[in-house]
Structure 1
Amino acid sequence: MTARAASLRRSRLRSGGGTPVVGTVTRGTTNPNRLRRMDRWIAAVHGAELRRAADPVAVDLGYGAAPWTAVELLGRLRAAAPRTRVVGVEIEPARVAAARPYERDGLSFRHGGFEIPLPQRPLLIRAANVLRQYDEAEVAGVWERLCARLAPAGPGTRGGLLVEGTCDEIGRRHVWVALGPEGPRTVTFAARLGSLDRPSDLAERLPKALIHRNVPGEPVHAFLRDFDRAWAAAAPYASYGARQRWIRAVRGLTAGWPVTDGPRRWRQGEVTVRWEALAPRG
């Protein structure tokens, strides 16, 4: 039995004969404030879309054994778009039951998986550390399913946003892919700069679509190699602090890579690159 067939079989077994719940149970490990870097980026780049919507809904998919990340997402998004509602979606029913006491205005929890059991299409789906246990071959199908559930693009809107990525246990290092209804758009690298010896330290947090591609001949490997070289060239700026060194290194990267953001985001310890530049070969 293939990994995909086994995954779908487990999904059917968990559905109880009703609407299939698609996916498998994750380890559920989570920590407060773990996803702050991702949330901060979402609020900055997607806040305008949330503000324009009459009823903006965001999904925290696979929030884990405790609902901290969904609670925090509500607060951070409402600072940018006060009407936003957050729905935490978990495939393990016991986790949903444990989260229910935390429900409040704008925050609710539901049992479900990649099918996203909401009547409307959300403007945001955040899936952090969810696909790490899946096979690389399964990622494209999951992305396609989730992107199909996003709010569609239309006049004056790019539609919903799927943010899928991986971080360490306390959120110091994080890499995520942002996707719209049309598919993948960008890859963002984010870090607490004091935790890095070199930018390629972020390789261990590459999302599933890229982590096995960090080998010679693949674009993501070339990007991290060039980033390390730019970091080394920016060593004189270290006397001004890691932030100034990072900014200088990213500025050097722009000569050869399609960096989509600017110094305002770089100061946060971030850099975002177009997906096409890092997409796996073949």
Structure 2
Amino acid sequence: MTARHLGSITRGTTNPNRLRRVDNWIAATLGGVLRRAPDPLVVDLGYGASPITAIELHARLGVPVVGLEIDPARVAAAQPFATDTLRFRRGGFELAGLRPTLVRAFNVLRQYDEADVPAAWAAMTATGALLVEGTCDELGRLASWVLVSPAGPQTLTLAGRLASLDTPSTLAERLPKALIHHNVPGERIHALFTALDEGWRAAAPLSVFGPRQRWRRTVESAKAAGWPILDRPSRWRLGEVTLRYSSVAP
């Protein structure tokens, strides 16, 4: 860490379209928050060796975006892609003094210790910003993220490419750092994946109608079992499910 910029340089690997699932969720779920903000600003924290994820986020949301990286070489390499509404600056969890409406931090905290997560969440939401923090695989086919407000974590979303999903528990490979080490018997996140896997197996006959129908029945069964699922079938058909974070918190 440095006195000015909070964080460490991470591996920085990225790919085009890797964050499409979370970007589309942000647009659909938090678009109203951005539209109501008098001066909306989104920060893409830790965009990596290539600025492509910040460029795509800017295109998908249609609001000003600032990409922040703690590595000055990455900031310099991104400058040719800057515009009036897409900028790149050096910064870490302190957000370089910015006061954004929303922060997206993906595949960043996965490279930290779990003990570092609460302080990082608190730093990124200290000015009132909402934070979407999560992890995905290299191609963006498996992903999960937590929506964090200044009051703490609010929701967990699991998202995957249904056509290639073996079982819902496959998504556990990409849980955020706050949860990934708790996917063991006796923990609530493990109980969630157990319920989803049971529903997935029970819904196997629906596979003839496609994976979306099987996933929808899986989510319906989890909701019927008492899991506090918050989103609607229109999101489930995309391979998503969102529920209260408190139901899976360690």
Q: Structure 1-normalised TM-score?
A: 0.87
Letter of the 1:164 counterpart = E
* CA deviation map 1:71-93 (0-9, x unaligned): 00001101xxxxx1000000000
Q: Which residue of 2 aligns with 1:103?
A: 82
* 2:126 is the counterpart of 1:148: yes
CA–CA distance in 1 between the matches of 2:19 and 2:196?
24
Find the residue that maps to 1:189 and give its secondary structure.
strand
Q: Distance in 1 between matches of 2:47 and 2:178?
A: 20
What is the CA–CA distance in structure 2 between the aligned matches of 1:214 and 1:53, rounded to whole Å? Answer: 37
The DSSP-based 3-state class of the residue aligned with 1:148 is coil
2:15: which partner in 1?
31
SS in 2 for 1:149: coil
Superposition CA RMSD, Å: 0.9
The answer to which of 44-53 and 91-100 deviates more is 44-53
- Structure ID, larger Rg: 1
Q: Is the 8 A contact 1:116 1:149 kept in 2?
A: no
**Residue equivalent to 2:47:** 63
Q: Please list the CA deviations of residues 199-235 of structure 1 after superposition, one character each: whole Å capped at 9, or x if unmatched.
A: 0000110010000000000000000001000001111
Distance (whole Å) between structure 2 residues aligned to residue 195 and residue 42 of structure 1: 23
Matched residue pairs, number?
A: 249
Q: Equivalences for 1:101-180 in 2 at 5 Å?
A: 101-119=80-98, 121-150=99-128, 160-180=129-149
Query: How many percent of aligned residue pairs carry the same amino acid?
Result: 60
Match of 1:155 in 2: none
Partners of 2:95 and 2:16 in 1: CA distance: 24
User: Which of 237, 242, 247 is equivalent to 1:272?
Assistant: 242
Whole-Å separation in 2 of the counterparts to 1:260 and 1:274? 7
Does the CA contact (< 8 Å) of 1:184 and 1:275 recur in 2? Answer: yes
- TM-score normalised by length of structure 2: 0.98
Shift of 1:240: 0.4
AA partner of residue 161 (structure 1): L
Match 1:198 to one of 156, 160, 167 = 167
Which 4+ residue blocks in structure 1 deviate beyond 6 angstroms? Answer: none
Mean Cα deviation higher: 216-225 or 139-148: 139-148
- Tell me the alpha carbon deviations over residues 149-185 of structure 1, each in whole angstroms, 9 at most, x when there is no partner: 33xxxxxxxxx32000000001000010001121100
Shift of 1:54: 2.0
Instruction: Return the letter of the residue paired with 1:21.
Output: H
Q: For residues 211-250 of structure 1, what are the structure 2 equivalents within 5 Å?
A: 211-250=180-219
3-state SS, counterpart of residue 246 of structure 1: helix
Unaligned runs of 5+ residues in structure 2 are none
